Chain A
Amino acid sequence: MSRVNGSGSQDPHVEVSRVRLRFGSREVFRDLSCDFPRGAISIVMGGSGAGKSTLLRLIGGLLRPDAGEITVGGDRTSGTSPAEVLRARRRLGMLFQNGALLDSMSIFENVALPLREHTENGEAEIAERVSARLASVGLEGVEALLPRELSGGMLRRAALARAIVMDPEIVLCDEPFSGLDPPNVARIEELLRDLNRSRGLTLIVSSHHIASSLRLADQLVLLQGGASICGDPGELSESHDPRITEFLGADARAHVALRAAAEAKA
Chain B
Amino acid sequence: MKALVARLGRACIGFVSGLGAITRFAGAIGVVVLTRPWRFRSLSRQLYDAGALSFVLISASGMTVGMVLALQGYNTLTRFGAESSLGAVVGLSLIRELGPVLTALLVTGRAGSAKAAEIGAMVTTEQLDGLRMMSIDPVDYVATPRALAIFFAMPLLTAFFILFGILGGYLVGVNFLGLDSGTYLASLETSVDFRDDIVAAFLKAGIFGMLVGLISTYRGTTCTPTTEGVSAATTSTVVTASVCILVSDYVITALWGV
Contacts and interface: CB of A to CB of B under 8 A. Distances in A.
Partners in one complex: yes
Contacts of B131: 102
A62 B136 contact: no
Interface in A66-125: 86, 89-90, 92-94, 96-98, 100-103, 113-114, 117-118
B135 A113 contact: no
A103 B121 CA distance: 10
A60 interface: yes
B133 to A, nearest CB: 4
Interface residues of B, number: 12
Contact of A102 (B130, B132, B133, B135): B130
B127 A117 contact: no
Given A98-B125, A98-B126, A101-B127, A86 B135 contact: yes
B197 interface: no
Contact of B133 (A89, A97, A101, A117): A89
Interface in B126-174: 126-127, 129-136
Contact of A93 (B125, B126, B133): B133
A216 to B, nearest CB: 22
A221 to B, nearest CB: 20
A92 B134 CA distance: 8
A171 to B, nearest CB: 10
Contacts of A102: 122, 127, 130-131
Contacts of A96: 126, 129-130
Contacts of A118: 134-135
A62 B127 contact: no
Nearest to A96: B126
A102 B132 CA distance: 12
Interface residues of A, number: 24
Contacts of A57: 129
A62 B135 contact: no
Nearest to B136: A117
Contact of A60 (B125, B133, B136): B133
Contacts of B130: 94, 96, 100-102
Nearest to A93: B133
Contacts of B129: 57, 62, 96, 100
Interface in A106-149: 113-114, 117-118
A57 B225 CA distance: 15
B132 A100 contact: no
Interface in A7-42: none
A61 B133 CA distance: 8
Contact of B135 (A90, A97, A162, A172): A90
A74 B129 CA distance: 22
Contacts of A89: 132-135
Contacts of A103: 125, 127
Nearest to A94: B133
A114 B136 contact: yes
B136 A100 contact: no
Contacts of B133: 60, 62, 89, 92-94, 172
Contacts of B127: 100-103
A50 B125 CA distance: 21
A86 B135 CA distance: 6
Interface in B75-91: none
Interface string B99-139: 00000000000000000000000100111011111111000
Contacts of B122: 102
Given A100-B126, A102-B127, A117 B132 contact: no
Contacts of B134: 89, 113-114, 117-118, 162, 166
Interface string A157-197: 00000100010000010000000000000000000000000
Give the 3 A-B residue pairs with the shortest CB-CB distance, closest first.
Answer: A100-B130, A100-B126, A94-B133
Interface of B: 122, 125-127, 129-136
15 contacts: A60-B133, A62-B129, A89-B132, A89-B133, A94-B130, A100-B126, A100-B130, A101-B127, A101-B130, A102-B127, A102-B130, A114-B135, A114-B136, A117-B135, A118-B134
